[in-house]
Amino acid sequence: MKTICLYFEIHQNIHLKRYRFFDIGTDHYYYDDYENERSIDETAEKSYIPALQTLLEMAQENKGYFKCAMSLSGCTIELLEIHAPHVLDLICQLYDTGCLEIVSEPYSHGLSSLANERCFREEVKHLCEKVESIFGCQPKVFRNSCSIYTDEIGRMVADLGFKGMLTEGAKHILGWKSPHFVYNCAMAPKLKLLLRDNRLSEDISFRFNDYNWDEYPLFADRYMDWIAQLPEEEEEIINLFMELCALGIWQPLSSNILEFMKALPNEARKRGIKFATPSEICRNVKSVGPLNVSDPISWVDEERDVSPWLGNVMQREAYQKLYTVADRVLICNDRKLKQDWDYLQASNNFRFMSTKPGSENAYRGIYDSPYDAFTNYMNIISDFITRVNNLYPDLDNEQLSPLMTTIRNQEDELDRKDKEIEKLQKTIQILKSKTKKAKK
């Protein structure tokens, strides 16, 4: 039986303000409050609220049948808490129906998985704590910023205790293989991988309202026919991953995108197609084998790599400069500094600097060009690094290295103890169960 795994990403960048060279050392507030409030309010009104209300209706009308997954970056949660708490209320209502699974991701929606493992681990734990405080659950499945994945990232995710991970079904990685099966990480076989079907996902998120598209206008019955007509296999998973703002922003409400979404469960049921959450798939479907990914893949652009964020010299210089102080930030207790660290890591900051062909008309926030974005960001980074270094004026890199090694060793020891405790707790539960049965 064919199964649809429907996942939505919710991420909004914290916009930086115009920061001049002469502000370095005198102004430590980096954000455009007006633009942050305006953009989150606009996105909530045009997309998040109507889209979530539609998903809630779908869940209520198709109890136990319709299911989906969602992840929120920590930066977005903070914006929503301040400016649009009603969006979080709607997500909580959707979660309470039992149809929604919350998926984890890095708190900043940044590139730490490529730069610093300890930073990455801290981000993921931070996000999981935030999710538990809001929804009362611990995520079991992970999806990296922009679906970035390598074998090494998979190994780190498995070490954090996740059972599955969502990523891109990149053609140059799959070759003749299909994205409609469950695979596993080559370096951590227990971590299952769910791969996005980019064509079917982007038929909704990118092409739905394109008058020049051969399939326009697209209706739910025809879309489900495409899925139903996929080659019959023993197990077939169709992973439809997209940003939630595709419903209302990329595809305006006037295109009837929400009516299309509402019709999907009924059309799927007619064709014997079911919905499942990522955790259910990871639990019930066996992997067909490892997926080898040595170089990073993502779900962005035709290349499906990390060139949108690290494709030119400016982007790489900004990225490398930021992570030179990663270890120092992680051992500090300055809450404001750590919050700035989260916001400055966000991947959008590097995307604004892209010079790739086709990026000329891309959204750049307050910036006039990629060079403008680079200059502004580097001014802010210069001030930020100075603040970090001022916390440790007598600590050079040679002294920092053994300190970080000690901290990492202590963390590894604590992780091992946590795993041992978990095993012992399971053993105790088994023994209690056997004791009860013996008494009967």
What is residue 405's predicted lDDT score, i.e. its pLDDT?
A: 61
Torsional sign, CA 412, 417, 422, 424: positive
Query: Residues 6 or more apart from 284 whose CB is under 8 A from it?
Result: 276
Residue 416 confidence (pLDDT) above 80 = no
Q: Do 137 and 102 form a contact (C-beta atoms < 8 A)?
A: yes
Give me the number of domains the chain comprises.
1
Residue 301 domain-assigned (yes or no)? no
Residue 208 domain-assigned (yes or no)? yes
Q: Do 138 and 116 form a contact (C-beta atoms < 8 A)?
A: no
Residue 406 confidence (pLDDT) above 90 = no
CATH number, domain with residue 37:
3.20.110.20
- DSSP per residue, 4-44: EEEEEEE----PBPP--GGGTTT----B-HHHHHHHHHHHI
Q: Do 47 and 382 form a contact (C-beta atoms < 8 A)?
A: no
Query: Residues 6 or more apart from 298 whose CB is under 8 A from it?
Result: 146, 147, 148, 149, 168, 304, 305, 306, 308
Comparing 247 with 425, the larger pLDDT belongs to 247
305 — pLDDT class (breaks 50, 70, 90): very high
Q: Do 137 and 121 form a contact (C-beta atoms < 8 A)?
A: no
Domain hosting residue 233, numbered range: 2-291
Rounded to a whole number, what is the distance in angstroms from the first to the last CA of the chain? 41
* Average pLDDT rounded to a whole number, residues 344-364: 86
Query: Residues 6 or more apart from 107 whose CB is under 8 A from it?
Result: 73, 74, 75, 123, 124, 126, 127, 130, 342
What is residue 433's predicted lDDT score, i.e. its pLDDT?
A: 75
What is residue 397's predicted lDDT score, i.e. its pLDDT?
A: 56
* Average pLDDT rounded to a whole number, residues 15-25: 96
Residue 304 domain-assigned (yes or no)? no
Residue 411 confidence (pLDDT) above 70 = no
* Average pLDDT rounded to a whole number, residues 70-91: 97
What is residue 4's predicted lDDT score, i.e. its pLDDT?
A: 98
Residue 403 confidence (pLDDT) above 80 = no
Residue 427 confidence (pLDDT) above 90 = no
Closest Cα partner for 186 from 216, 149, 222, 212?
A: 149
What is residue 431's predicted lDDT score, i.e. its pLDDT?
A: 77
Residue 373 domain-assigned (yes or no)? no
Residue 427 domain-assigned (yes or no)? no
* Average pLDDT rounded to a whole number, residues 129-134: 97
Instruction: Please give the model's pTM, rounded to 2 decimal places.
Output: 0.89
Residue 384 domain-assigned (yes or no)? no
**Residue in the structure block whose two tokens are 């050079």:** 396
What is residue 415's predicted lDDT score, i.e. its pLDDT?
A: 66
d(Cα 331, Cα 400) in Å, to the nearest integer?
A: 10
Query: Residues 6 or more apart from 250 whose CB is under 8 A from it?
Result: 205, 206, 243
pLDDT digits (tens, 9 = 90+) for 137-191: 999 999 999 999 999 999 999 999 999 999 999 999 999 999 999 999 999 999 9
361 — pLDDT class (breaks 50, 70, 90): low
Residue 386 domain-assigned (yes or no)? no
Residue 84 confidence (pLDDT) above 70 = yes
Residue 417 domain-assigned (yes or no)? no
Arithmetic mean of pLDDT over the chain? 92
Structure tokens at 263: 């019709």
Phi, psi of 316 (to 5 degrees): -65, -35
- Position 132: which residue type? E
Percent of the chain residues topping a pLDDT of 90? 83
Closest Cα partner for 27 from 35, 19, 38?
A: 19
339 — pLDDT class (breaks 50, 70, 90): very high
What is residue 360's predicted lDDT score, i.e. its pLDDT?
A: 61
Closest Cα partner for 49 from 101, 91, 102?
A: 91
